[in-house]
Amino acid sequence: MIVEFAFGDTGDASKGRLGIGLPLLGGEGRVPISGPVEPAGRQGGLSLWRGAGSIAGYARVGPGLDLESASMQLYADILRAAGGMNLYRIWNCVPRINAAGPGGLENYHAFCRGRSLAFEEGLGRGFAGKLPAASAVGTAGDELFVAFLAGSAPPRHVENPAQVPAYEYPAEHGPRPPSFARATAVEGPSGLDVYVSGTSAVVGHETVAPHDTLAQLECTLENLRLISRASGLGERLGTGRGCRRQFKVYLRNARDLAAVAPRVKERLLSPGDAVSYLRADICRAALNVEIEVAVRGADRS
């Protein structure tokens, strides 16, 4: 079974349900990425949905694509579509993310270069301060998939004190650094919404415990705790604050589900939380696990 992203809360197919090329290992198979929205046609390569003070959309390109050029074009389309609004969250599924492309550059690094160039062109040289939360994981297929959520309320983009901001990574991580914040927090009428980026075992800018899934999970959980605190959710991602929480756990190796799922349930989940376990490659070949979180409507402390 392939997991579906859904636009809107109802799951109505008219509001957009689409497979994103990631096998579902367990948990929820339908993942809402926006609140109530209505179809709003197409712009550039994007299919769009609009709600009260929000816009969301997605595009997919491939096969046989030049990843840098395709990424740059898709992100230029996103910036145009979201014009006048603030980017909150972007999801990226990159084909064969750890493989080398035709020119020898790793696919993830080619994607990052195109994304960064689009942000610089669209937002100016100081674009780093406007970057939203994001994730980028790898699929076995040939398509590049990008989805986004933006809104009119001003966001606060958050960093982890234990990590170098991704947009400041040194050149060993690619010719242009990844363009995202560790989380984005938005104050709304129903409470605090926080979108936590794909989070993994990175301290500073270095990979922790290469290829060791359970050791990496421990580091990832600590990074989530630090991001939670910096986002205004306390130590436990808003537990006990009346919010809806949605977790995605990406695993490089499907066989790790049996060991990872019980620890995630014990350490992260509360009754009523939604969680999806997905088989995906992670942006660094030595990383085996990544977790992202959406927290909606947390009571203000």
Q: What is the pLDDT of residues 113-140, one digit of tens each?
A: 999 999 999 999 999 999 999 999 999 9
What integer is the mean pLDDT of 63-86?
Answer: 93
Q: For residue 84, with 0-12 CB atoms within 10 Å meaning exposed, 13-18 middle and 19 or more buried, which class applies?
A: exposed
Q: Is 290 a catalytic residue?
A: yes
Q: What is the mean pLDDT of the chain?
A: 94
Cis peptide before 63 (omega within 30 of 0): yes
User: pLDDT band at 16, cuts 50/70/90?
Assistant: low
Q: How far is CA 282 from the centre of its chain?
A: 12
Q: Residues 43-52: what's their mean pLDDT?
A: 93
The tens digit of pLDDT for each residue in 201-233 reads 999 999 999 999 999 999 999 999 999 999 999
Spatial distance between the Cα atoms of 285 and 223, rounded to a whole number of angstroms:
19
For residue 277, what are the domain limits? 2-298
**Considering 68, 106, 290, 292, which one is annotated as catalytic?**
290
pLDDT surpassing 90 at residue 276: yes
Residue 107 sits in a domain of what CATH number? Answer: 3.30.1330.40
Within 13 Å, how many C-alpha atoms sit on residue 16's CB side? 28
What percentage of the chain has pLDDT greater than the value 90? 86
Tokens matching residue 2 = 């392939």
- Which pLDDT band, with edges at 50, 70 and 90, does 9 fall under? low
Please state, in angstroms and rounded to a whole number, the distance separating the CA atoms of residues 227 and 294.
12
> For residue 13, what pLDDT is reported?
44
What is the number of domains present in the chain? 1
Tokens of 261: 């799922």
What is the rounded distance in angstroms from the CA atom of residue 72 to the CA atom of residue 301? 40
